[in-house]
Amino acid sequence: MRNIWAFVWGALVAVLGGLIGLGGAEFRLPVLISIFNYRTLPAIIINLIVSLVTVTCSFVFRSGIIGIENVFANFAVIINILAGSLIGSYIGVHYATRVNERLLNRVVVVFLVFLSIVLIGHNFIFSFGSLQLPSLLRISLGFVAGIVIGIFSSMLGVAGGELIIPTVILLFAVDIKLAGSLSLAISIPTIMMGLFKFRSQQRLEEIKSEQKFIVFMAAGSILGAFVGSNLLNYVSSSQLYLILGTILLLSALKLAKHKPAG
């Protein structure tokens, strides 16, 4: 029954993520910790694995809607942010495996609250449009933003889409739906870097007994990513951000009440 619920939750989270170009990890992490009772670090590693499946499938499914040619037309933007996020992802794992679990739990809560504010207030945040900056400064800011995104990605087991999408919109004047697909393209290698670092530290051994659970959740995520991507043209972005932001805030409050083991 636990694996069936893993499939269901995987699908539900991936629908939400697929709609706006996210891996859904921000929603999945509170589920893994609060509902399935995983300790924070194992939950982060499982989250990264399922996120990789979700992000890859979402990218493929969305490409038929957004247009793969539009994604590759912005290849320079992807490389710019990706260069920083790969470095940040490598650094983030170093801290994730050394920081106190209670402290890490608090960081996750703060991050979720921050994301909820960004999502709920997206109309105000994005109303200014892109920043009018010199090309060299824009590229430099994109690289630095990528480092920060990569650190959060590997530390918290998320793809970082909520940070990537605003960065792409504000710095490079990209439409929000296309920004979602660019976010997925950036997230794939970023997550892979985080998993590679965890593997090099032999942390994947901690979740070896959870392989069946991961397979069920990943399978649900594939279905959810397909459904979410195909709903892209039928849901108002403004309503969607408000709903997702509210869900994130509720998730953060629930996670704040959870007491880490040990």
Q: What is the mean pLDDT of residues 7-25?
A: 85
Query: Does position 214 have pLDDT exceeding 70, yes or no?
Result: yes
Report the pLDDT value the prediction gives residue 262, as an integer from 0 to 100. 47
Return the axis-axis angle of helices 40-62 and 211-230, rounded to nearest 10°.
40
Question: What's the pTM value of the predicted model, to 2 decimals?
Answer: 0.77
Token pair for 181: 């697909």
Q: What is the pLDDT of residues 25-52, one digit of tens each?
A: 777 888 998 899 998 888 888 998 998 9
Residue 138 amino acid letter: R
> What local confidence, expressed as pLDDT, does residue 155 receive?
67
Who wins on pLDDT, 225 or 193?
A: 225
Mean pLDDT value across residues 202-230: 91
**Six-digit token pair at 220?**
């649900």
- The pLDDT, as a whole number, for residue 128 is 54
Taking residues 58-85, what's their average pLDDT? 89
Cα–Cα distance between 25 and 86 in angstroms, integer? 18
Encode pLDDT of 166-212 as tens digits.
788 778 888 778 888 998 998 888 888 878 878 888 888 888 889 99
Find the mean pLDDT for residues 99-107. 68
Residue 238 in this model has a pLDDT that exceeds 80? no
